[in-house]
Chains A and B, each alone.
Chain A
Amino acid sequence: MAEVRMTGISISFGLEKAVADVTMTVPDGAFVVLLGPTGAGKTTTLRLISGLERPDTGQIHINGRVVNNETPAQRNVAMVFQQYSLYPHLSVRENLAFPLRSPILRTPEDQIARKVGEVAEVLQISHKLDNKATELSGGEMQRVSIGRALVRDPAIYLMDEPLSSLDAKLRADLRIELKRIHANLGATLLYVTHDQIEAMTMATHVGVLDHGRLVQFGTPRQIYENPASLYVAGRLGLPRINALPATLFGAPPAGASTIGLRPEHIAHDGGKEALVKRIEHLGDQTRLHLSLEGHDLVTLTDVHTKLKPGDRLPVQPRNPLFFDAAGDRVA
């Protein structure tokens, strides 16, 4: 396992910069989650580290060694692709053994059998080992792709939304499993996800990308509680942070034009009257859709609330976040 450092990395496809001047360190043994909307450059960042793309500028270090000119094989990274990564002409077992049989590893067959068995066990696919890769469900394929990375012991695991097509239970199981692998093996991971729970529960660090730029890097709590911009604040938190005109609740701090309210920033013990428009019971939480002087607002309430549409509810901010006109945090 190793530290991975990117300094001043940029890459363009045509006129568009997919990754722009990213400097980021993935510490040895860290579990770094990359967040960002579609097209933000998450996959491209992983491809740059793995060596599938060469940066236009900047340097990539793995374990202190500049790897810009090394092939993917020499870099010793494992990657779970966002799509299409099982070899359709091989069985599940052969797919899992493929990295171990590489000319670089040349693992003896008995070790391959043991390792493949272990990983299949962890990923709950032991019963499918002799299937062709094409005879699997989407979730099973996804687990085999993860398995193909886990059989190895690379400098870093790069995972591109590896749990996206699994059901909730399996996702929870594998989340715990990945966390365990991270803790027990001291593995270093760089992990792309859109899933809040994955980001909050597994990450030691979170990096937020916006149009190829790294706009904030910190612990999950820092990113959640202390976002540098409205954009970063919008990456985490369900329901999403509400952005309202800063003047709605009296005089804002100097320069602020937007007030950001997460559910926990909204108190109901006084303040302005809002109209309850809709109530969504999600099981473990209940969402309130409110209307306040023509602005929509989504917050949480008690699961067994007695509120109904048409009711009125006082709303006031408590320790909210303020952002300027450009979206940067002011307070």
Chain B
Amino acid sequence: MSGYSITEPSRRQKWVAGTLVVLYALITIMPLIWIITTGFKSPVDSISYPPKVLFEPSLEGYVNLFTTRTRVSPEQLAQLPPPKRWYEEIVRNRDMVIAGPSRYGERFMNSVIIGFGSTFLSVFLGTLAAYAFSRFKVPLKDDLLFFILSTRMMPPIAVAIPIFLMFRKLGLSDTHLGMILLYTAVNISLAVWLLKGFIDEIPREYEEAALIDGYTRFQAFYKVVLPQAATGIASTAIFCLIFAWNEYAFAVLLTSGTAQTAPPFIPTIIGVGGQDWPAVAAGATLFLLPVMIFTIFLRKHLLRGITFGAVRK
């Protein structure tokens, strides 16, 4: 491509902008790098002062994250058969043996089920509602839209007690379904508003052409509107997932045994056998991955840009 466009930034402008972005990214990414590296430090290195930038990497944090361990006396240790696996060896170096798996894996899976479940539900319901608000004559449309928005005007945690009582009555406390419904209820207003904006931008003529071409309203929605709303759906899904994934207050209040998500669990790791910062950091690092992977996965839709090719005129 040797085309030259006056709206395209010059090389120098691109260079300056690029430098600024990289600098900003470096600053914001520091805490993240700190957490990731801490996960690979030994407990001693993790609290050494001045902080160690170069250190001997260790998987101890990750082993501790996924196991529960008990301390044994050196005599008992000597009587045990030699460790069969690398992680048993790491634990024995600390005069301990593995007692069993920790609950981190389970809590992580709960986060996945609840986070992705509520994201799917929010986006699914949000898309249908946004389409209806965008295209149909809905009685009291503006009032309904305002009502949907108003559900977010108060911090959700302000209604924690009523929700707590309601959940107990309905048997939704500490269940996956309960948490999915709760996070969906919180996210749906954002989803409807964001998606309505995106769907409003799609010219009606596309669907109308599909209706005339012999498709039903739903098929037109599915074949014509959805592909063009992909950008909006992807960004909405990311917002919804980030909220549901990171939510802490309700998770503490409403979950304990079966449906507890990772955010309330991670701090409890500290208590197990002293201040195990590498294990906490390891838990936090792994916890970051799904949202990151999800975002990277949807990146193509986000970057694809909006192809509002004015098709005629």
Q: Which residues of B contact A89 (CB under 8 A)?
A: 227-228, 307
Among the stretches A79-87, A254-262, A271-279, the one at the interface with B is: A79-87
A87 with B206: in contact, given A82-B312, A133-B311, A141-B312 (CB under 8 Å)? yes
Q: Which residues of A contact B227 (CB under 8 A)?
A: 89
Among the stretches B34-42, B61-69, B143-151, B210-218, the one at the interface with A is: B210-218
A98 with B307: in contact, given A52-B208, A87-B206, A141-B312 (CB under 8 Å)? no
Among the stretches A101-109, A200-208, A229-237, A293-301, the one at the interface with B is: A101-109
Q: Are B213 and A84 in contact (CB under 8 A)?
A: no
Among the stretches A33-41, A70-78, A120-128, A191-199, the one at the interface with B is: A70-78
Q: Are A85 and B206 in contact (CB under 8 A)?
A: yes
B260 → A minimal CB distance (Å): 42
Q: Which residues of B contact A77 (CB under 8 A)?
A: 212
A50 interface hit (Cβ, 8 Å): yes
Q: Which residues of B contact A86 (CB under 8 A)?
A: 309, 311
Q: Which residues of A contact B216 (CB under 8 A)?
A: 71, 73, 103
- Binary CB contact string for chain B from 267 to 289 against chain A (1 if under 8 A, 0 otherwise): 00000000000000000000000
A88 with B228: in contact, given A81-B312, A145-B312, A165-B312 (CB under 8 Å)? yes
Q: Which residues of A contact B205 (CB under 8 A)?
A: 81, 83-85
A147 interface hit (Cβ, 8 Å): no
Q: Are B312 and A79 in contact (CB under 8 A)?
A: no
Q: Are A52 and B212 in contact (CB under 8 A)?
A: yes
Residues of chain B in range 46-100 having any CB-CB distance to chain A below 8 Å: none
CA distance A77 to B213 in the complex (A): 8
B11 interface hit (Cβ, 8 Å): no
B205 → A minimal CB distance (Å): 4
CA distance A133 to B215 in the complex (A): 20
Q: Are B213 and A99 in contact (CB under 8 A)?
A: yes
Residues of chain B in range 206-238 having any CB-CB distance to chain A below 8 Å: 206, 208-216, 219, 224, 227-228
Size range of the chain A interface in the assembly: 35 or more
CA distance A82 to B310 in the complex (A): 12
A134 interface hit (Cβ, 8 Å): yes
A103 with B212: in contact, given A83-B310, A84-B311, A88-B309 (CB under 8 Å)? no
B308 → A minimal CB distance (Å): 7
22 contacts between A and B (CB under 8 A): A72-B208, A72-B212, A73-B212, A73-B213, A79-B209, A79-B212, A81-B312, A83-B311, A83-B312, A83-B313, A84-B310, A85-B206, A87-B209, A87-B224, A99-B214, A102-B214, A102-B215, A103-B215, A148-B213, A152-B213, A164-B313, A165-B312
| Top 6 A-B pairs, shortest CB-CB distance | A102-B214, A134-B309, A104-B214, A99-B213, A84-B205, A83-B312
- 18 further contact pairs, Cβ within 8 A, besides A83-B311, A88-B309: A52-B211, A71-B216, A72-B211, A72-B212, A73-B213, A73-B216, A76-B214, A83-B310, A85-B312, A87-B210, A87-B224, A88-B228, A88-B308, A88-B311, A89-B307, A98-B213, A138-B313, A165-B313
